[in-house]
Amino acid sequence: MLLTGAEILIKSLLDEGVETIFGYPGGAVLNIYDELYKYKDKLHHVLTCHEQGAAHAADGYARATGKVGVCLATSGPGATNLVTGIATAYMDSVPMVAITGNVAKPLLGKDSFQEVDITGITMPITKHNYIVRDVNKLQEVIREAFYIAQEGRPGPVLIDIPKDVTAEKTQYTKLIPKEVIRKADYITDKALQEAIELINQSKRPFIYAGGGIRISGATQELINFAEKIKAPVSTSLMCMAEFPNDHELYTGMIGMHGTKASNIAATKCDLLITLGARFSDRVISNQNHIKNAKVLQIDVDPAEINKNVKVDTCIVGDLKVALDKLTPLIDEKKNEEWISLVSGLKEDMKIPSTDELNPELLFDKLNKLNDNNFIISTEVGQHQMWSAQYFKFKAERSFITSGGLGTMGYGLGAAIGAQIGRSDKRVINIAGDGSFGMNCNELATAVKNRLPLIQVIMNNNCLGMVRQWQNFFYEGRYSETTLDRPTDYVKLAEAFGAKAFRITKVEEIDEVLRKALDSNEPVLIDYMINTDKKVFPMVAPGAPINQIISEEDINNN
């Protein structure tokens, strides 16, 4: 069958099982959009307001569904507008294929109109990228790109296609997608035996679980493993929803804004078992207080072993496979004294009672309303940490946030992708007023597509996390972090066509949440909180994670 490059692209996407693509048209991709028009009954295209929104939507779709997210942009500024979204996906190991158009081959390298070397730009932030100069290679490139995006440690792949390649013709024959096989070649008997010896000798094992648990779908394997050796379980930000938050072994988030139970247990354990995590500086920036523990690291990416923390032994391979092989071979433990000690540290995980309008109260209300049906997405800042600290996650893949890159403006686009990918769930995007201002235009995308997502703005009239650091470490010099914007977010949302409410009193919360959840269209809630509200607990940058700053410490100077 003789087809143009554009039609081969669309058919190849369908062959890979793609149902939804997020994008924005332009001159270099007109041939592709012409084919999308013909295939609109088979491939759902979501027009975002900005290419960055398309990249974040593809990312959110991938995180919520476990499928590959796909975004499409034109050449030049269209392509560069994807860069932040691609970097966000790369840092959090999200499977994504970004497709860009480029100028025709004779114009490449001549500073042509809307030309940019997007493969050069994105080389450090993609698993792999391509510029397809030969239409005969296009179909196999697409097939390979989807495989690379998913295999091993997932990540984004970029395909750049000159405009004339989308017009040229070649033979097309349907290809079956390349099978993605879980990596297990290095899960050897020797590696397993070394891990077994460390675990069986341990009297105070502690688990630090990261985003690899979500990526490999290893939640049940983690539960089985933790219960067999009676090890308390902490999670990184990327793993917040992947271990039941109400489980007796759960100690909460670990790190800079982690719980007292997680942070102190990590310094008192005799074996730190790290699963699909990379010892980020936001988790352990000072290693002095974990040196007394042996370290076992299990990760699919060998580059992460011994990168930030020297380990005593490791297993390299897919977490689901590794835990499935390891758990039957280890001794069952009770560790009653250790469990009792850690349980006594968990007091700060309870949501404090309050009568004032604050984040804790809102999340307490949401927890009571959550019938295993909410997906929480966030922007980046204080509200992100409050979401992780106070929302009680009940389902896998129900927390979508930018962890590694920390991208303000990420959440609303990601919420759109998640809501489209999981129409059976209710997506709630938690934002600060600073983050919301970055990509608030995507509210128009949510309205056009009649998505029943809820946008909550924690409105404190400032860039809260930066202001908090200025308060703690810069003697209260609030340089450019107090916003003082006269923007009325309720009116803004209504101008986009969304419903909107403002909460200024505690008595208003229940009714507003009820109206928002009863709505079948986008709703914005402007939730007014105190400018001086801070995130606690906190560990200062570079300090050991057991040197925890509490609100009482600040009040007592």
Catalytic residues: 51, 113-114, 163, 465
Query: Strand pairing of 250-253 and 233-235?
Result: parallel
Q: Which residues pair with 234 in a beta bridge?
A: 208, 252
Rounded distance, CA 504 to CA 52, Å?
32
| Tokens read off for 413 | 């686009």
Residue 368: CB atoms within 10 Å: 11
Rounded distance, CA 358 to CA 5, Å?
54
- Kind and range of the H or E run holding 3: strand 2-4
Rounded distance, CA 374 to CA 517, Å?
11
Residue found under tokens 């730190």: 272
77 prior amide bond cis, ω within 30: no
Question: What's the one-letter identity of residue 419?
Answer: Q
Rounded distance, CA 495 to CA 307, Å?
49
In three-state secondary structure terms, 428 is strand
| Tokens read off for 143 | 């097939």
| Alpha-carbon distances of 234 from 34, 147, 202, 342, 443, rounded to whole Å | 49, 32, 17, 11, 35
Q: Which residues pair with 171 in a beta bridge?
A: 2
Question: What's the one-letter identity of residue 539?
Answer: V
In three-state secondary structure terms, 158 is strand
Rounded distance, CA 70 to CA 84, Å?
15
- Kind and range of the H or E run holding 555: helix 551-555
Rounded distance, CA 269 to CA 342, Å?
10
Query: Strand pairing of 426-432 and 399-400?
Result: unpaired
| Tokens read off for 13 | 């996407």
- Kind and range of the H or E run holding 97: strand 96-102
Query: Strand pairing of 2-4 and 128-131?
Result: unpaired
Q: CA nearest 74: which of 95, 103, 53?
A: 103
| Tokens read off for 25 | 């048209």
In three-state secondary structure terms, 529 is coil
Q: Where are the alpha helices (DSSP H) in 39-171?
A: 51-65, 77-80, 83-91, 118-122, 135-150, 163-167
- Kind and range of the H or E run holding 443: helix 443-448
| Alpha-carbon distances of 465 from 14, 404, 435, rounded to whole Å | 43, 16, 11
